[in-house]
Structure formats: C-alpha cells, structure tokens
Amino acid sequence: MSTVRGLIDRLLLICAVVAGGLVPGFIAQYRQRLGGRLEQARLDLAPWQKIANLFFGGSLRKLIQFHLASRVRPFHAEGAAIRALVLNVRRLQHDVAALRGSLYHQVLYLVLHPDPGMVRATLSDWDPTFGLTRQALLFAALFAAAVWLLFQGAWSAAAAGGRRLRRRPRARPRPSRQSA
C-alpha cells in the first residue's frame, strides 16, 4: 500500500507543480483579454464623449441626464445605453487596475471576483504557458505544497479511519432464549 501511496504522491506533486506554473500564464492572457475589452468599450464611448464635450462641457453625466429626461422613447433608451457603457468602462478599469498587482493579488482577485464569461472566453483560447519568473516559480511551488499537504492530510485521515474500523470488536451474536 505504501508503494501505491508513494506513486500517487509523486504524480500528484508533479501535476500540482505544473498546474501551479500554468496559473500565471492564464492570468496574463485573461488580463490581455480584459484590456482589449476595456479598449473597445472606450472606443464605443468616444463618440458620446465628443458630443458631451460639444454641448455639455465634457460631462457625460449631463448628456445622460438630458437623454433620460426626454419623452421620446428612442432618445430615452439612448441615455440608458450610454449610462450602461459608462458603467462598463468604469468596471473594466477597476478590474484592469486590480490585476496590475503582484501575482498573489491577481490570483486572489480573480478567485474572488471572476467574470464567468471572460474566464470561459480565456479558457477557450488559452495557450498554456508555464511562467518562469521568480514569482511564478514560487507560486507553482507553494501551490504544489498546498495540494500535497491536503493530499497527505486526506490520506492520513482515511488511513486512520480504516484502522479504527478494523480494530473495532465485532459484536458476537447473543444466544437466543428458547422457551420450555
């Protein structure tokens, strides 16, 4: 049984190092996709900003309020669309800024605030790359150590549970009473 555990142990450790080393590359590609989406949103907002510059002193908020105050339905709907675009640009700017920190902050931010659509899109086009920076290699080692420790704990708990079950005395059947 110790041979099987050793084999699983080593295989898991190698897979965990590789998986941990792939995370920085995934985050870099996610960040690039996010930056592209932000750039497109800014390009989409640019014509509205020009209109705001001409008629509202550069205030997009005033342009949006002007549109929303209109009783003409298509014009009112434009105001809602412009507001959604402004909010999207702000959210994307926040996400891009959050992914500029250290690798550990990026991983934490992505785990806590993922954009499911962006994650799926990144995964569909993902070219696995193994990070060779000091931070990436350290992350791979720490990730592997965490996975390995979880495995060790789970294996030990399962083994201890199995030993307890084997040690437990079996209940002997009681002799049945026969009536005379």
- Domain boundaries along the sequence of the chain: 2-154
Mean pLDDT, 10 residues at a time, the chain of 180 residues: 83 93 95 96 97 96 95 93 97 95 93 94 93 91 93 87 65 61
Q: How many CB atoms lie within 10 A of CB 83?
A: 17
How far is 109 from 160, CA to CA, in rounded Å? 37
Mean pLDDT of the chain: 90
Token pair for residue 124? Answer: 């569909």
pLDDT score of 156: 87
pLDDT score of 9: 86
Q: How many CB atoms lie within 10 A of CB 153?
A: 10
Q: How many CB atoms lie within 10 A of CB 23?
A: 19
How many percent of the chain have pLDDT more than 70?
89
pLDDT score of 160: 80
Residue with tokens 């790359």: 129
